A and B are shown apart, each in its own frame.
Chain A
Amino acid sequence: MRISIIAAIFRKDVVDAVRDSRVLVSLLTPIVLAILYNSIFPEERVVEVKVAFAGPENSALVRSVEDRAGQTVSLKLRHVDSDVEARHLVVTQGVDAAFVLPADVDDAIRQGRRPTITLIQPAEGSSAANFVSAALETGIRALSGQPPIATVAVERVQAGSAEAGVLGELGARRYFVLATVVMMLGMIAVLAVPIILTEEAEKKTLDALLLVANYREVIIGKALVGLAYSAASVALMLALTRLRPIDIPTFVMGTALLAVSLIGLGLLLGGVFKSAAQVYTWSSVLLLPIIGPAFVAGLPVPDALDIALRAFPTFQGMRVMTNGLAGKPLFTDIWISYAVLLAWVAIAYGALAWRLGRRES
């Protein structure tokens, strides 16, 4: 196997593929769809709170307010020079609430000198002020060394089905945008990759290529094109839709395994079809069962269907990527997902190697 030949084929196809309108459509359609989902589904779980404060910027209380915001509150914290300015911002609705800290507030609390912290809120009250009040109280307790008077144990129970819980946890926007990421991987693998392979055979450029390269080098070159487009498109889509995976290794692993397995399937399809037009027609039909499972992976479905869908790489890929995106195991038994994805990789590339062996003989 010659790296220089694989690299030359890869470079040629990267350029050639984007000049092909059919490949371009397969790359752009999911991106457009993701942007659409991104705009039509609000981010339900994030509340935007604008707060101003006066006093020491490096106070532990300021940090406690920031920490409490976590992922559920989008906190815009703004430091001002005086309580007058803070009050003015609340009055003019420049912020939702404001607080004023004495100069030595942290030491005063630690020493039990009972300093006064002023919370400024609109006359009618506001959820932002409630949030700041709760955050400051927690911070004051921590600074003073007081143990909590009681412990509030949070118990999460399953309301409805588990899948509804996943959708609820992740939010519709992130869930459906993630599903379009899987859709894009599917379209690159099942539409773009077979087209660039089939077109070589259809236009007989493969004959010229095989005078210098062998089948394996050609196939690897095409697979790398698919992987490069997948990586670039996923990165672009995440950037455009502001999706930030929290557990990046899990997200990358799920994306990579899914892309590799789907590209293997795409290369197999490329060997079956005789023309790029055939690929375009039939791959569009095949896309539904390939992409569909990704969209329902986190939705309530009948048990029998759920069991059937578990065999699909996109279903399992979506599960791993969801966990990576959320940064916590929204789907349990994720090793099964890895096992199914690895099995698909083995099946696809095993079949491909078998076909190549037959061609070369």
Chain B
Amino acid sequence: MAAVEVQDLKKHYGAVRAVDGITFSVAEGEVFGLLGHNGAGKTTTIRMLTGRARPTAGRAFVAGLDAVTDRDRVKPLINAVFEDPNLYDRFAGIENLRFFATLYGVKASRADELLDLVGLRDAAKRKAKTYSSGMKQRLMIARSLINSPRVLFMDEPTRGLDPTSAREVRALVAQLAREGTTIFLTTHYMEEADELCTRVAFLSQGRIVALDTPRELKLRYGQRTAKVLLRDRTENDLRLDDPQDAAKLAQWMRADQVLTIHSQEGTLEDVFVALAGRPL
């Protein structure tokens, strides 16, 4: 059974087609990335899958349950980390978690476990408004795990974080994935998707324009290139699929002019540019 299954899902706001007939499925334990520009429909898709927006058409199943008609049964099985920090500022970190523990009907001690997991034990009694961006993000991740969700939706979980905090958050996501949580991730950061996701889908104007593993997408849409350093210390970028560049490389090799060669596979950024026509 797929953790998430989406069939021709649409969400229209008047004439605006925020999501325009997308179909995909996410396997249990998979880290699935949904990539796209602002306004491509990523957040709207998550809103529909988490029962916070009703689709205009199509169907969505989460953990085998209809995300619309079985919304109340889906809710205990999922959770989400949101794009913007949305904590109760006047509550301490531990109070934030305990409130949601009560809502989900889980033991209060779960809140303490999660504070340990995200490394916020020492700041447990500080009001959330005094937390740094990274701490807030970690607290939101802790909150999203309060009910041990089968499917975790993460909407831009590292947006606006400094590199260290972003790395910590990515490490947490990777840990959750190793422990078997299905993760549905949206992000602007292609390196992040490349590092974390088992498969990614590119969303453009509400439609999926490509869906596969990062490696396959890079092979299919990326350009194979090599950076060649010659003995005269000149550096040359060559496209390996270009016959002229390939011939040039062969000639340098025969003349023993090559000092080093660094092969470079395409990046997801390249794939995105190739598909969407502009970078993120």
Contact = CB atoms under 8 A, between A and B. Distances in A.
Nearest to B99: A12
Which of B50, B51, B102 has its CB near the most chain A CB atoms (within 10 A)? Answer: B102
A204 B71 CA distance: 20
Nearest to B143: A208
A204 B143 CA distance: 14
Contacts of B51: 210-211
Contacts of A210: 51-52
Interface in B65-110: 71-72, 75-76, 78-80, 82, 84, 86-91, 99-100, 102-105
A205 B140 CA distance: 11
B151 to A, nearest CB: 12
Interface string A1-40: 0001100110110001001100000000000000000000
Nearest to B47: A207
B54 interface: yes
B52 A16 contact: no
Nearest to A360: B54
Contacts of B52: 207, 210-211
A202 to B, nearest CB: 10
A12 B80 CA distance: 21
Interface string B239-258: 00000000000000000000
Contacts of B79: 211
Given A12-B99, A208-B143, A211-B79, A203 B86 contact: yes
B90 A205 contact: no
B50 A211 contact: yes
A361 B54 CA distance: 6
Contacts of B87: 205
A214 interface: yes
A129 B76 CA distance: 77
Contacts of B89: 203
A185 B67 CA distance: 40
Interface string A79-113: 00000000000000000000000000000000000
Nearest to A18: B90
A204 to B, nearest CB: 4
Contact of B102 (A8, A203, A208, A214): A8
A16 B88 CA distance: 9
A127 to B, nearest CB: 58
A213 B103 contact: yes
A16 B91 contact: yes
A5 B103 contact: yes
A304 interface: no
Contacts of B86: 203-205, 207-208
A71 to B, nearest CB: 46
A153 interface: no
A210 B80 CA distance: 11
Contacts of B82: 204, 207-208
Contacts of B99: 8, 12
Contacts of A11: 102
Nearest to A16: B90
Nearest to B50: A211
A4 B105 CA distance: 8
Contacts of A204: 82, 84, 86
A214 B72 contact: yes
Nearest to B74: A211
A212 interface: yes
A341 to B, nearest CB: 34
Contact of B80 (A16, A211, A214): A211
B100 to A, nearest CB: 7
A111 B269 CA distance: 115
Task: Please list the 4 inter-chain residue pairs (A to B) with the smallest Cβ-Cβ separation, ordered nearest first.
Answer: A204-B86, A8-B102, A19-B90, A212-B103
Given A5-B103, A207-B80, 4 more contacts: A8-B99, A16-B91, A204-B86, A208-B100
